[in-house]
Amino acid sequence: MNETFIAPSVLSADFTKMGEDVARVTKAGANMIHCDVMDGIFVPNISFGPKMVADIRKHTDLPLDVHLMITRPERYLETFAKAGADYITVHTEATDSLRYCLEKIRALGVKSGVVISPDTAPERIFDYLDLADMVLVMSVYPGFGGQKFIPSALGKLRTLSAELKRRGLNARLEIDGGVGIGNVAEIKAAGADTIVAGSSVFGAKDTAEAIAALRNA
């Protein structure tokens, strides 16, 4: 299994102090920075676009994990690659061209990722796993931070972990939504090796301690 990575989600940062917050979690031991891009159409919220990703890039050397919660993400893959994304993950529910998206992301020199929302069966993306460097399971409904973890995500992690192992694939298996110190051990046991955490990191009094606790649980 891959080493456990902690990916703080900047959706929980203070947008007026984004550079400071990103630098703080970088110094505190984060492994990557998770950037939630929302268009107000695929999800009922609007967050930020490529300019914010490019600005975040200036404040950290960590990989930028750019999660596109947007309709027809194929329109913006090159834009976010140029902005500094190291990973670009796209929702299977958001495009009719998933294979094209994953191949295009890799062609741009960026690591590719596929995402499933809570109502999507993991089997839906089995045919695309060989094209993915990251597989992301949403454990809340995408669009807003601070939601409670949906327990059915654990079964999806187990299913995807078993399928990746069966096929000898080494994609990272990421979880996003409602993750904290109270449930992260169970989540990791189900197969997740990349933990997206928002308020449990950015809202912690001691950021380094919070990151270490999630990693070592």
Full set of structural domains in the chain with CATH: 5-216 (3.20.20.70)
> Which of 21, 39, 133, 176 is an active site residue?
176
- Catalytic, 127? Answer no
pLDDT band (50, 70, 90) for residue 86: very high
For residue 177, the model assigns a pLDDT of 93
pLDDT of residue 121: 98
Length of the chain (residues): 217
Which of these is catalytic: 21, 36, 39, 133?
A: 36
Would you state the structure tokens that stand for residue 41, as one six-digit string?
């159409």
Residue 120: name the closest of 148, 147, 90 by CA: 90
Quote the percentage of the chain above a pLDDT of 70: 98
Confidence of residue 147 (pLDDT cuts 50, 70, 90): confident
Q: Rounded to an integer, what distance in angstroms lies between the CA atom of residue 39 and that of residue 72?
A: 10
User: Residue 144: is its pLDDT beyond 80?
Assistant: no
Examine the pLDDT at 2 and tell me if it is beyond 90. Answer: no
CB 70 within 8 A of CB 39: yes
Q: What is the pLDDT of residue 145?
A: 65
pLDDT class for 143, splitting at 50, 70, 90?
confident
- pLDDT band at residue 1 under the 50/70/90 scheme: low
Mean pLDDT of 129-156: 92
Bridge-based pairing state of the strands 5-8 and 64-69: unpaired
Give the range among 33-42, 74-83, 141-150, 152-161 with minimum mean pLDDT. 141-150
Residue 182, classified by CB atoms within 10 Å of its CB into exposed (0-12), middle (13-18) or buried (19+), is: exposed
206: annotated active-site residue: no
- What is the chain's alpha carbon radius of gyration, rounded to the nearest angstrom? 16
Q: Per-residue pLDDT for 69 more than 90?
A: yes
On the question of pLDDT at 142 being above 90, the answer is: no
More confident residue, 143 or 153: 153
Q: Which one-letter amino acid corresponds to residue 70?
A: I
- The beta-strand segments (E) located in 26-86 are 33-38, 64-69
Q: Which of 214, 215, 144, 188 is nearest to 1 (CA)?
A: 188
Neighbours of 58 (CB within 10 A): 10
Placement of tokens 């990973």 in the chain: 87
User: What is the reported pLDDT for 190?
Assistant: 98
Mean pLDDT computed over every residue of the chain: 96
If we measure between CA atoms, which residue out of 92, 181, 104 comes closest to residue 138?
Answer: 92
Helices within the chain (DSSP H only): 18-27, 50-57, 77-83, 98-107, 152-166, 184-189, 199-202, 207-216
CA 16, distance to chain mean position in Å, is: 22
Q: What is the mean pLDDT of residues 32-49?
A: 96
The whole-number average pLDDT for the span 127-146 is 91
Model-wide pTM > 0.85: yes
